[in-house]
Amino acid sequence: MRKKLIAANWKMYKTPEQAREFVAAFLPQVWEHTRDEMVLCPPFVTLPAVASALDGSRVQLGGQDMFWEKEGAFTGAISAHMLRAAGCSHVIIGHSERRQYFGETDDTVNRKLRAALHGGLIPIVCVGEVIAEREAGLTEDVLRRQCSIAFREISSGQAIPIVVAYEPVWAIGTGKTATPELAGEAHRVIRAEAAEAFGEGVAGKIRILYGGSVKPDNVKSLMAHPDIDGALVGGASLDPKSFAAIVKY
Ligand code: PGA
């Protein structure tokens, strides 16, 4: 049985002050919630405020990106080691916005994924097709390529903590959610790719989240699908009431 994970991707939203207000309103609503793992991924500068506000709660903390080196002359970059020191247990890697606006490639995703595992972080690796790829019938090929390159040079023993987020790019921030069946099909492709890389046993343990316009009113049907192990939530995670409603679907 895979425990579901519900993660908030705040993207480039919320100052430390705004994040403290969020946590003050959010925590009382989920204090008793033990069914799922919960993770907040705020912007880097907001991590310390959220870390101290979450102290003593079950809600975990994640970064939205990282670089693969431990330290050095890499202006603007943050390492796994630094995220850990700031209180993070998780890190999002290869989000489609990083791929689209910041030159992230399948190869850099692989390097970051290996560095995250090496640094003791739980990586949430994002994959997903753009609309033109779906319409051309290429979804399966795209997912297989993104996963097989992401999983390179990772042993089965190292792979267990990996979380994959299937995020069809056409569903992100658009209000167009994938149906549970469509997401389920993609999740089966991703798990098959994980089985090829790490074996059936490990692939069965890897959690595969769905992301893309998850809202309080569609989360229940998505989470009811046996192949969907949680959600990565953008827009609807910015409001404490709406994110609490998603967590407690
Ligand atoms: P969305 O974003 O929920 O606003 O569609 C999801 C994501 O980008 O992770």
What is the average per-residue pLDDT within 12-32?
97
pLDDT tens-digit map of 197-227: 999 999 999 999 999 999 999 999 999 999 9
> How many domains, the chain?
1
The predicted-structure confidence for 50-61, as pLDDT tens digits, reads as follows 999 999 999 999
**Is 219 part of any domain?**
no
Rounded Cα gap, residues 154 and 50, in angstroms: 31
Q: Which residue's entry shows tokens 């943050």? A: 78
Mean pLDDT value of segment 22-27 = 98
In the reported structure, the alpha carbon of residue 94 is separated from the centroid of ligand 1 by a whole-number distance in angstroms of: 13
Annotated catalytic residue, options 37, 97, 167, 193: 167
95 is catalytic: yes
Q: Which residues line ligand 1 (CB under 6 A)?
A: 9, 167, 172-173, 211-214, 232-236
> If you measure from the C-alpha of residue 202 to the centroid of ligand 1, how many angstroms do you get, rounded to a whole number?
27
pTM higher than 0.85, yes or no? yes
Single-letter code of the amino acid located at 233: V
Asked, for residue 228, whether it belongs to a domain, the answer is no
Kindly state whether residue 37 falls inside one of the protein's structural domains.
no
Is residue 159 a part of any domain in this protein? yes
Over residues 122-173, the pLDDT tens digits come to: 999 999 999 999 999 999 999 999 999 999 999 999 999 999 999 999 999 9
Cα of 49 to ligand 1 centre, how many Å? 23
Closest atom of ligand 1 to 174 CA is 5
Three-state SS letters, 183-216: HHHHHHHHHHHHHHHHCHHHHCCCEEEEECCCCC
Name the token pair of 232: 């990565």
| Nearest-atom index, ligand 1, CA of 126 | 9
Q: What is the DSSP string of 122-191?
A: EEEEEE---HHHHHTT-HHHHHHHHHHHHTTT--HHHHTT-EEEE--GGGTTTS-PPPHHHHHHHHHHHH
Would you state the pLDDT for residue 85?
98
Ligand 1, atom 1, lies closest to the CA of: 234
The per-residue pLDDT for range 66-122, each reduced to its tens digit, is: 999 999 999 999 999 999 999 999 999 999 999 999 999 999 999 999 999 999 999
Closest C-alpha among 77, 229, 243 to residue 162? 229
How close is the Cα of 132 to the center of ligand 1, in Å?
Answer: 19
241 within a domain of the structure (yes/no): no
CA-to-CA distance for 211 and 68, rounded, in angstroms? 24
pLDDT given for residue 1 in this prediction: 80
pLDDT (average), residues 221-237: 97
Which tokens is 129 given? 């097709």
The per-residue pLDDT of the chain, averaged, comes to 97
The residue whose CB lies within 8 Å of the most ligand 1 atoms, and thus the one to mutate among 233, 237, 238, 243, is 233
Report yes or no on 29 lying in a domain: no
Instruction: Output the domain CATH number for residue 92.
Output: 3.20.20.70
Pocket test for ligand 1, best of 172, 222, 242, 243 (most atoms within 8 A of CB): 172
The verdict on residue 230 lying in a domain is no
Domain-embedded: residue 33 = no
Cα distance between residue 161 and residue 155, in whole Å:
12
Q: Give the range of the structural domain holding residue 96, as residue numbers without chain letter.
A: 44-211
Element (H, E) at 100: helix 96-101
